């Protein structure tokens, strides 16, 4: 269909990753904490629900995006009277496993059907080494039953880049005897580390190595910047549609999360960054204007910094001159859906020249996309990517699965519509 330019100034919901971690650290700090700009996404609400079930007082002023939490500290978490429902949020399940490993009680983490299919052994293995008893299904998935214990610090090298596994081990390390050391060859998002440093927590960082020790945390007031992953589909839309000029205010610019911006620049998109004032996370304003797109190659080392945005790279690639290839992204198969298979199937349904690889994909462009029916496969990232693809299709694209958009960006369709 013919789309008008994507133009204007907009703000996006608060960063999901920081919201999850801010809420969990507030629950581990004795006293009252305030989180402003907290994400209204369903995944982050799941974390709040779990924390309430553990005895933490949580008040969420949705209109003001402010969460107020009062906690008795890590030692004051209460044994839940029922299984802890993580909804559709893998971040909630994996990070809370790290918190619960150091308690004195038994707890079970459950969730939506798609969450029960996602791998949890990668979190269970280091927590078992620290002394917790962790039970999984025979397939290595949830439910996750944790018998908390007095933990001992370990040295753990991440087998694959994973901020969720890293954060789970760091959170467990806050209640372990002796140092807990994380080694990572390829940096993953570092929001947990930044927050702990900002709080004056017992953490020391050097390149590729992070060490935490047991310690108490103080309550805090945190301003959560906008989520760059929620800004990404709007920015991609502006990059695709001629005449666009879009500015997103107050968005997080953590360098472990801005790989998509760097890739867009390599593809020829005009990306302007104006740093702002945020602490402990860098943030600022982003402005994007379209330009003729060229193909790029993305290797494994780049993947952690744009793992959530790779479906959008595939959409941009359909309009880029040449062959765009992504390798080293097998982790995409373990998200809410198999995002490699889902993305390739959807793009091919719209007429794209798209090839699925075991650990990535190749898209050859430019191709004028046509009308089609595409399935988001219960995956909010695919739903947003296919919605953006529809802006440059010959006729309206029927995206099945838009009901999952609130997992990360409530009001996405309305926000995009208001900018056109």
Is 68 domain-assigned?
A: yes
Give how far the C-alpha of residue 66 lies from the chain's centroid of Cα atoms, to the nearest Å: 20
Q: Are residues 115 and 208 in the same domain?
A: yes
Annotate 71-106 with b (16+ C-beta within 10 A) or e (fewer): beebeebeebeeebbbbbbbbbbbbbbbbbbbbeee
Average pLDDT of the segment spanning 233-247: 97
Is 160 domain-assigned?
A: yes
Confidence of residue 151 (pLDDT cuts 50, 70, 90): very high
Is 286 domain-assigned?
A: no
Is 65 domain-assigned?
A: yes
Catalytic residue among 308, 321, 323, 359: 308
Residue 135: enclosing H or E segment and its boundaries?
Answer: strand 133-135
Q: Are residues 41 and 90 in the same domain?
A: yes
Confidence of residue 277 (pLDDT cuts 50, 70, 90): confident
pLDDT digits (tens, 9 = 90+) for 194-235: 999 999 999 999 999 999 999 999 999 999 999 999 999 999
Q: Are residues 196 and 261 in the same domain?
A: no
User: CA-to-CA distance for 109 and 93, rounded, in angstroms?
Assistant: 6
Annotated active-site residue 85? The verdict is no
Domain count, the chain: 2
Q: Are residues 205 and 316 in the same domain?
A: no
pLDDT digits (tens, 9 = 90+) for 115-142: 999 999 999 999 999 999 999 999 999 9
Give how far the C-alpha of residue 125 lies from the chain's centroid of Cα atoms, to the nearest Å: 22
User: CA-to-CA distance for 393 and 251, rounded, in angstroms?
Assistant: 29
User: CA-to-CA distance for 169 and 189, rounded, in angstroms?
Assistant: 14
Q: Are residues 184 and 309 in the same domain?
A: no
Give, to the nearest 10 degrees, the angle between helix 191-198 and helix 163-173.
Answer: 30
The pLDDT assigned to 2 comes to 53
Average pLDDT of the segment spanning 87-98: 97
* Domain assignment of residue 171, given as a range: 16-212
Q: Are residues 47 and 153 in the same domain?
A: yes
Of 305, 393, 377, 297, give the one whose Cα is nearest residue 345. Answer: 377
Report the side by side order of strands in the sheet with 322-326: 297-298, 322-326, 360-365, 353-357
pLDDT digits (tens, 9 = 90+) for 251-273: 999 999 999 999 999 999 999 99
Tell me the backbone φ, ψ of residue 297, rounded to 5 degrees: -115, 130
Is 235 domain-assigned?
A: no
The pLDDT assigned to 258 comes to 97
The pLDDT assigned to 29 comes to 97
Average pLDDT of the segment spanning 238-248: 97
Residue 380: enclosing H or E segment and its boundaries?
Answer: helix 380-389
User: CA-to-CA distance for 118 and 124, rounded, in angstroms?
Assistant: 13
Give the 3-state secondary structure of residue 302. helix
Q: Are residues 37 and 168 in the same domain?
A: yes
Q: Are residues 71 and 189 in the same domain?
A: yes
Cα first-last separation, the chain: 13
Q: In degrees, to the nearest 5, what angle opens at C-alpha 79 toward C-alphas 78 and 85?
A: 105
Q: Are residues 207 and 324 in the same domain?
A: no
Strands 155-157 and 7-10, by their bridges, are unpaired
Flag whether pLDDT at 3 surpasses 90. no
Tell me the backbone φ, ψ of residue 119, rounded to 5 degrees: -70, 135
The pLDDT assigned to 278 comes to 81
Is 98 domain-assigned?
A: yes
Share of the chain above pLDDT 90, in %: 96
Flag whether pLDDT at 300 surpasses 80. yes
pLDDT digits (tens, 9 = 90+) for 349-402: 999 999 999 999 999 999 999 999 999 999 999 999 999 999 999 988 999 999
Give, to the nearest 10 degrees, the angle between helix 90-100 and helix 42-53.
Answer: 30
What average pLDDT is seen over the chain?
96
Average pLDDT of the segment spanning 337-342: 96
The pLDDT assigned to 292 comes to 97
All residues at 6 or more sequence positions from 361 whose CB lies less than 8 Å from its CB, including other chains: 314, 325, 326, 340, 343, 344, 354, 355
The pLDDT assigned to 108 comes to 98
pLDDT digits (tens, 9 = 90+) for 45-69: 999 999 999 999 999 998 889 999 9
Flag whether pLDDT at 1 surpasses 70. no
Q: What is the CATH number of the domain that holds 90?
A: 3.65.10.10
Average pLDDT of the segment spanning 34-44: 97
Q: Are residues 190 and 258 in the same domain?
A: no
The pLDDT assigned to 337 comes to 92
The pLDDT assigned to 131 comes to 98
Of 186, 185, 330, give the one whose Cα is nearest residue 256. Answer: 186
Of 106, 108, 102, give the one whose Cα is nearest residue 150. Answer: 102
Is 233 domain-assigned?
A: no
User: CA-to-CA distance for 316 and 232, rounded, in angstroms?
Assistant: 12
Distances (CA, A) of 165 to 121, 135, 283, 373: 10, 16, 25, 36
**393 forms bridges with which residues in the sheet?**
369
Q: Are residues 61 and 146 in the same domain?
A: yes
172 CB-side CA count, 13 A: 38
Average pLDDT of the segment spanning 7-13: 97
């Amino acid at each position: 269909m013919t789309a008008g330019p994507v133009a204007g100034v907009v703000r996006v919901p608060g960063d999901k990753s920081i919201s999850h971690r801010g809420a969990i650290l507030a629950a581990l700090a004795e006293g009252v904490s305030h989180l402003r700009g907290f994400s209204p996404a369903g995944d982050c609400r799941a974390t709040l629900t779990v924390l309430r079930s553990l005895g933490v007082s949580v008040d969420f002023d949705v209109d003001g995006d402010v969460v107020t939490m009062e906690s008795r500290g890590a030692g004051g978490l209460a044994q839940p009277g029922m299984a802890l429902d993580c909804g559709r949020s893998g971040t909630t399940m994996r990070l809370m496993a790290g918190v619960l490993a150091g308690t004195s009680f038994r707890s079970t983490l459950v969730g939506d059907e798609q969450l029960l299919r996602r791998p949890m052994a990668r979190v269970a293995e280091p927590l078992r080494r620290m002394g917790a008893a962790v039970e999984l299904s025979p397939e290595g998935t949830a439910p996750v039953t944790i018998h908390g214990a007095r933990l001992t610090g370990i040295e753990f090298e991440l087998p694959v880049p994973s901020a969720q596994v890293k954060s789970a081990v760091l959170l467990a390390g806050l209640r372990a005897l002796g140092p807990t050391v994380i080694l990572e060859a390829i940096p993953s998002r570092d929001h947990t580390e930044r927050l702990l440093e900002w709080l004056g927590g017992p953490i020391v960082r050097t390149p590729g190595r992070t060490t935490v020790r047991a310690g108490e945390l103080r309550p805090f007031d945190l301003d959560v910047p906008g989520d760059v992953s929620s800004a990404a589909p709007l920015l991609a839309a502006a990059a695709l549609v001629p005449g666009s000029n879009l500015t997103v205010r107050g968005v997080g610019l953590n360098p472990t999360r801005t790989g998509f911006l760097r890739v867009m620049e390599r593809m020829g998109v005009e990306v302007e960054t104006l740093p702002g004032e945020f602490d402990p996370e860098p943030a600022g304003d982003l402005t994007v204007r379209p330009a003729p797109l060229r193909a790029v190659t993305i290797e494994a080392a780049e993947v952690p910094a744009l793992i959530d945005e790779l479906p959008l790279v595939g959409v941009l690639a359909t309009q880029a001159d040449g062959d765009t290839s992504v390798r080293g992204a097998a982790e995409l198969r373990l998200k809410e859906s198999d995002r490699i298979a889902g993305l390739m199937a959807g793009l091919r349904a719209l007429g794209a020249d798209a090839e699925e690889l075991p650990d990535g994909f190749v898209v050859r462009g430019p191709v004028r996309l046509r009308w089609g029916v595409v399935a988001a496969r219960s995956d909010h990232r695919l739903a947003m990517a296919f919605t953006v693809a529809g802006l440059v299709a010959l006729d309206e694209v029927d995206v099945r699965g838009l009901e999952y958009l609130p997992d990360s960006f409530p009001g996405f369709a309305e926000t995009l519509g208001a900018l056109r």
